[in-house]
Homo-oligomer: A and B are copies of this chain.
Amino acid sequence: MNSVSDTPKDTLNISIVGSGNVATHLAKAFSGKASVSLVNPHTLEGLPEKSELVIISVKDDAIKEVAAKLKGRAEIVAHTSGSVAMSALEGCAQHIGVFYPLQTFSKNVSLNYKEIPFFIEGSDDTSIRVLTSAARLISEHVMPADSAIRKKLHIAAVFACNFTNSLAGIADELLQEDGLDYKVMLPLLRQTVDKLSSLSPAEAQTGPAVRGDKTVMDAHLKMLEGNDTLSEIYRTLSARISSVATCKTAQ
């Protein structure tokens, strides 16, 4: 007898419904670790007769519709959205839950899945247990989070990831005006993030706003004259940095 046999009986049977970046990456991450099917969200082509776990990974406003079509096809149904409550899945399976990876997924960009934090919510012990086991197949960082906490994580991720990418886009726009490549900024960007492993964001803050260097800030705003969007972003974020620095000093 082989005690570590990899028979179908021991292998979790997971269907991932979706065709976007998250679905594609999840299927890849589970590959070789579970019996995984990638299922077309419109036709449900590829869905086994009965799945242990179906993970719906589609746009937020399509989750309910896909869930309705899955009724009776799976023991456990979960979605991967940061913003949608678990209750959106009510009625589509006996056990429901959420399987939320805190990460930004782009096609053709590889990821170290082990480092991705997964946040799990479940309607009962069964869904929590199976979703946690599934997440642990991929990642070393699996935590519980109810819908309220997940929403908070999601909005924090919008600030820390989506908006950070937008700032890199602004740097790109400014540098392109002088024929410079934004890639010259990458070591600086890497260091900006690396510092946050050992310093808090307040401790790590550098630049004219935290120094209260009005001369430099005025010169920058002069450079941005005529571009209302960038001027407003510069003003708002500088004011936020100044006010945090002032609070820190006042403590």
Q: Which residues of A approach B to under 8 Å, CB–CB?
A: 21, 59-61, 83, 102-106, 108-109, 111-112, 115-117, 141, 143, 148-149, 151-172, 174-175, 177-178, 180, 182-211, 213, 215-216, 219-220, 223-224, 229, 232-234, 236-237, 239-241, 243-244
Contacts and interface: CB of A to CB of B under 8 A. Distances in A.
Nearest to A161: B192
22 contacts: A59-B211, A61-B215, A102-B185, A104-B191, A109-B204, A143-B184, A151-B219, A151-B223, A156-B170, A156-B171, A156-B182, A156-B185, A159-B234, A162-B206, A164-B189, A165-B204, A166-B244, A167-B167, A167-B237, A193-B193, A229-B243, A233-B237
Contacts of A208: 83, 158, 162
A184 B157 CA distance: 10
Copy number of this protein in the oligomer? 2
A21 to B, nearest CB: 8
Contact of A187 (B115, B149, B172, B186): B115
Nearest to A224: B155
A155 B178 CA distance: 13
A106 B205 CA distance: 9
A219 B155 CA distance: 9
A150 to B, nearest CB: 10
B229 A236 contact: yes
Contacts of A111: 191
B151 A187 contact: no
Contact of A205 (B165, B175, B210): B165
Contact of A223 (B155, B236, B240): B155
Given A205-B165, A240-B233, A188 B157 contact: yes
